[in-house]
């Protein structure tokens, strides 16, 4: 497999930390970029593979098993292995850019290993809840879901990242309480350096 023509950027982090905003902003500025969102790989609501939280009578959407990661991995690999249509890409830049975003992105070893740069945006529990409580999800969060599933699963995931020394050393952690524009500027500057 060759990914020599691709620069792969991975954006992950806690719920409501600004991952999608950042991804879309980078995509807009980086003309040679393609985006793949992990959120597009959630299993359908009626899929038997979902894990139910009995006390909430609600599925746990915070688990990697709530997504079709085989499909995402295959989509990413087939894109990298394909030759992009030259007409879509600028001749002045010799790399095409793949931006991957998802709250459990680095849990998939194959995808994580493909990323040339890995960013993980953090927030405190209070900041995360403050943003999440005003968001609409499909299916909607039930009362207690943030406390019972969202936050504990995030802490578990972050803890796994910290304990995996090799992975941890490749991730840039970013304080999500900074303004969205400031976070964008930090990452955009790094990517421009990588492309120069």
Q: Return the H-helix or E-strand segment holding 28.
A: helix 19-29
CA distance 53 to 60: 6
Q: Read off φ and ψ for residue 133, nearest 5 degrees.
A: -65, -20
Q: Return the H-helix or E-strand segment holding 72.
A: helix 69-81
* 112 three-class SS: helix
Peptide bond into 139 cis (omega under 30): yes
Residues designated catalytic: 39
Strand segments, DSSP code E, in the chain are 6-13, 33-37, 52-53, 58-59, 96-101, 117-122, 171-175
7 pairs with which residues across the strands? 97
Angle between helices 125-132 and 151-163 (to 10 degrees): 130
């Amino acid at each position: 497999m060759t990914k020599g023509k691709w620069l792969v950027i991975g954006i992950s982090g806690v719920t409501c930390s600004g991952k999608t905003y950042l991804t879309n902003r980078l995509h807009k500025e980086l003309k040679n970029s393609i985006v793949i969102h992990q959120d597009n790989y959630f299993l359908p609501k009626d899929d038997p593979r979902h894990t139910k939280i009995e006390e909430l009578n609600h599925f746990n959407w915070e688990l990697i098993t709530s997504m079709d990661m085989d499909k995402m991995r295959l989509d990413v690999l087939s894109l990298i292995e394909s030759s992009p249509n030259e007409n879509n890409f600028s001749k002045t830049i010799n790399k095409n850019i793949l931006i991957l975003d998802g709250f459990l992105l680095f849990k998939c070893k194959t995808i994580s290993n493909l990323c040339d740069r890995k960013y993980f945006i953090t927030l405190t529990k209070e900041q995360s809840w403050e943003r999440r409580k005003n968001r609409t999800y499909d299916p909607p969060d039930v009362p207690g879901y943030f406390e019972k599933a969202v936050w504990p699963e995030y802490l578990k995931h972050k803890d796994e990242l910290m304990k995996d020394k090799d992975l941890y050393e490749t991730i840039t952690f970013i304080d999500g309480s900074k303004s969205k524009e400031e976070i964008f500027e930090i990452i955009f500057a790094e990517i421009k350096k990588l492309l120069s």
